[in-house]
A and B are shown apart, each in its own frame.
Chain A
């Protein structure tokens, strides 16, 4: 399958600071990228969907000003957690897919980023 690289794999930050997570598609053009959050023993919760070159679409209840998503190129999307607080500590996972005409490929996942806010 296609490779999606997510960086960093883990990060610890102080409360009030911002953290940027990168998601790169290494061997395909990621027309769409999805950002998920997963709390312990919970399922993946979709936070937002981003299409290259356009603004991200956020799911209900997700603060767009707190979770800034940029998808400026077909191989890179970033998620910035602004003014992070301990309740933002979670496992953040990106996934990416490519579009061919009206069809999409499977979604491939990055390795995930474990964020701990202290």
Chain B
């Protein structure tokens, strides 16, 4: 089982709708969870970090964490064309010397 799994997409969402991105992880010792956005040819940029079960909201973005299910998601409300990018889920675990392990990413395409 891969350490961090994401659906590669592409996920197409109409402009103004909610985009839902999902991620599962295998290491139960994982403690920190991150969502990065990466535009083509660019370096990833941190969007959200979440450390405890539940929801965390920041503007149009909401991260959701369920440690029992080993599941983390990112919701993007009022999707904009500029949200079109690859979204990388990343997990940090003490079992991996606090390294950040990335999923393969989900390509999101917002349809104008």
B102 at the interface (CB under 8 A from A): yes
User: Is A44 a contact partner of B41 (Cβ separation < 8 A)?
Assistant: no
A70 at the interface (CB under 8 A from B): no
> Which of B41, B43, B99, B104 sits near A43, CB closer than 8 Å?
B104
Which residue of chain A lies nearest to B97 when distances are taken between CB atoms in the complex? A49
User: Is B100 a contact partner of A34 (Cβ separation < 8 A)?
Assistant: yes
User: Is B99 a contact partner of A44 (Cβ separation < 8 A)?
Assistant: no
User: Is B45 a contact partner of A104 (Cβ separation < 8 A)?
Assistant: no
CA of A36 to CA of B105, assembled, Å:
15
Known: A46-B101, A108-B46, A112-B43. 17 other contacts (CB 8 A): A6-B43, A34-B100, A36-B102, A43-B104, A43-B105, A44-B44, A46-B99, A57-B97, A91-B41, A106-B34, A106-B46, A106-B49, A109-B44, A110-B43, A111-B42, A111-B43, A114-B41
The 7 A-B pairs of least Cβ separation, nearest first, read A43-B104, A112-B43, A109-B43, A44-B102, A43-B102, A111-B43, A93-B43
18 contacts between A and B (CB under 8 A): A34-B99, A36-B102, A42-B104, A43-B102, A43-B104, A46-B99, A46-B101, A46-B102, A49-B97, A93-B43, A95-B100, A104-B98, A106-B34, A107-B100, A108-B46, A109-B45, A109-B46, A112-B43
Interfacial residues, chain B to chain A (CB-CB below 8 A):
34, 41-46, 49, 88, 97-105
